[in-house]
Amino acid sequence: MTDNIFYSTVQSPLGDMIAGSTDKGICFLEWHDRGGVERILSRVEKRYKKPLEEKISEHLLKLQNELVNYFDGTLTDFEVPIDVNGTEFENRVWDHLLKIPYAETRSYGEIALELGKPGASRAVGRANGSNYLSIVIPCHRVIESNGKLRGYGGGLKRKKYLLDLEFRNFNRLNSTNSIVSDKL
């Protein structure tokens, strides 16, 4: 057991990411170009108050494998343990994001209502923007109430790509399931 946060670069079809883990689980997964690696590492070190070490951990290996499967369309739910460290409200929002099913979206307002905080859509947006676990905590599934894409730390092109990937794979997986069940 160590007090360090291990981190490593992770490749994705959308560009390099940097990921980190504590002994408990993955604590961050950010796009390299979201403010630069040094800035990301500095924010993480301040938030967790633990030293950083560039080293691959068991959790990082599992994350890397799950990301490959996610982008291949064979993984719809991440199983790698996570270790988030936000405010009480941020943690509630992030927990709620984890419950948004693959290939579905929610608006900031819907999430605020579901959390019992009507009118707090901006606060939900801020918590969404403070999410350190891009893709794993699916903040890309949150959209405006009019259906338009808005805000994503990795940029709107990546958000659109992730949503398109999920919709495409969901439809493929469901059409495969219905073809099989039709033959039974």
Confidence (pTM): 0.88
Q: Measure the CA–CA gap between 27 and 81, rounded to whole angstroms.
A: 9
Domain 5-72 of CATH type 2.70.98? no
Q: Residue 108 is encoded by which pair of tokens? A: 């900031």
pLDDT of residue 149: 85
The residues spanned by each domain of the chain are 5-72, 88-131+139-165
In this predicted structure, what is the pLDDT of residue 1? 57
Report the pLDDT value the prediction gives residue 182, as an integer from 0 to 100.
44
Span 10-31, average pLDDT = 95
Between 2.30.30.50, 1.10.10.10, 2.60.40.2550, 3.40.50.9100, what CATH number should domain 88-131+139-165 receive?
Answer: 1.10.10.10
Q: Once rounded to an integer, what is the mean pLDDT over residues 38-60?
A: 92
Q: Which range is least confidently modeled, 101-105, 155-159, 178-182? A: 178-182
The span from the CA of 60 to the CA of 49, in Å, is: 20
b/e burial code for range 15-38 (CB count within 10 A of at least 16 → b)? eebbbbbbeebbbbbbbbebeeee
How far apart, in Å, are the Cα atoms of 177 and each of 35, 74, 181? 42, 14, 6
Name the maximum alpha-carbon separation found in the chain: 57
Provide long-range contacts, Cβ within 8 A and 24+ apart, for 110-114.
110/145, 111/142
Query: With 60 as the cut, is the pLDDT of residue 96 above it?
Result: yes
Q: Report the pLDDT averaged over residues 39-47.
A: 89
Give the catalytic positions in this structure.
139
